[in-house]
């Protein structure tokens, strides 16, 4: 999951139904090259999560998109996804790495401390995700990671305008969620603008 130029990583809203989201995802994926997709859930039932993932994963994978599910290595395997994203750097992450690596992707995020991110990197994850409402602080953290560590870094952009500074800071991937799905122009226009911003800065 690493190339010289930054790549786009989309994350769905928390979903209670996969089929309802197909039109939005189809639109987003039609606009250009998306590297990865994180499927998030609004339900706790593993069977329902698997159903949601199965409704969305194939259409993304057909376009060469790596599909991850949020929180559950088991659901990822059952839904034939490409990996799982785990919050934090604790036992759940260690278990996911043991269950999925190296055949499947394991990502980690939601770190309170720099030490947590470092611990996740040492655990053998395929990427670390940094998020935050303070863009300056996020840019600083991405730059720190990119300078010192080889594990790819994903940075969540809260808006399309945040993409360029995060790419300049060294983010390997830029994650977009609400900035795409809530765009009044539609997901395709938002993705096209995002890719243009990344190409200009990459």
Whether residue 117 lies inside any domain: the answer is yes
Whether residue 62 lies inside any domain: the answer is yes
**Per-residue pLDDT tens over the stretch 9-26:** 999 999 999 999 999 999
Beta bridge partners of 135: none
Whether residue 2 lies inside any domain: the answer is no
Query: What is the end-to-end Cα distance of the chain in Å, rounded?
Result: 16
Average of per-residue pLDDT across 39-61: 98
Q: d(Cα 179, Cα 87) in Å, to the nearest integer?
A: 21
Q: What is the pLDDT of residue 201?
A: 59
Q: What is the pLDDT of residue 20?
A: 97
Q: What is the pTM of this model?
A: 0.96
Whether residue 1 lies inside any domain: the answer is no
Structure tokens at 174: 């830029």
Exposure string (b/e) for 1-37, b if CB count within 10 Å is 16 or more?
beeeebbbbbbbeebeebeebeebbebbbebeebbbb
Kindly state the percentage of the chain with pLDDT values over 70.
Answer: 97
Average of per-residue pLDDT across 176-186: 98
Per-residue pLDDT band for 112 (boundaries 50, 70, 90) equals: confident
CATH label of the domain that carries residue 46: 3.20.20.70
Whether residue 14 lies inside any domain: the answer is yes
Q: What is the pLDDT of residue 3?
A: 47
Domain boundaries, position 47: 7-201
Please give the tally of structural domains in the chain.
Answer: 1
Q: Using the predicted structure, report yes or no on whether residue 199 has a pLDDT greater than 90.
A: no
Whether residue 127 lies inside any domain: the answer is yes
Q: d(Cα 117, Cα 103) in Å, to the nearest integer?
A: 22
**Per-residue pLDDT tens over the stretch 137-161:** 999 999 999 999 999 999 999 999 9
Q: What is the Cα 23 distance to its own chain's centre? A: 20
């Amino acid at each position: 999951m690493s190339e010289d130029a930054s790549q786009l990583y989309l994350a769905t809203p928390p979903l209670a139904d996969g089929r309802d989201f197909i039109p939005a995802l189809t639109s987003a994926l039609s606009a250009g090259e998306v590297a990865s997709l994180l499927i998030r859930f609004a339900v706790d039932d593993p069977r329902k999560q698997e159903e949601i993932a199965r409704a969305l994963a194939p259409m993304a994978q057909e376009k060469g998109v790596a599909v991850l599910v949020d929180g559950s290595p088991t659901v990822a395997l059952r839904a034939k996804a490409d990996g799982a994203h785990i919050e934090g750097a604790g036992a759940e992450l260690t278990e996911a790495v043991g269950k999925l690596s190296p055949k499947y992707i394991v990502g980690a995020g939601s770190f309170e401390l720099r030490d947590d991110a470092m611990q996740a990197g040492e655990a053998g994850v395929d990427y670390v995700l940094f998020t935050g409402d303070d863009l300056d602080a996020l840019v600083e953290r991405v730059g720190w990671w990119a300078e010192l560590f080889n594990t790819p870094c994903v940075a969540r952009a809260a808006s399309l305008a945040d993409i360029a500074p995060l790419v300049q800071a060294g983010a390997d991937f830029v994650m977009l969620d609400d900035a795409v799905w809530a765009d009044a122009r539609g997901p395709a226009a938002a993705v096209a603008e995002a890719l243009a911003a990344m190409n200009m800065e990459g």
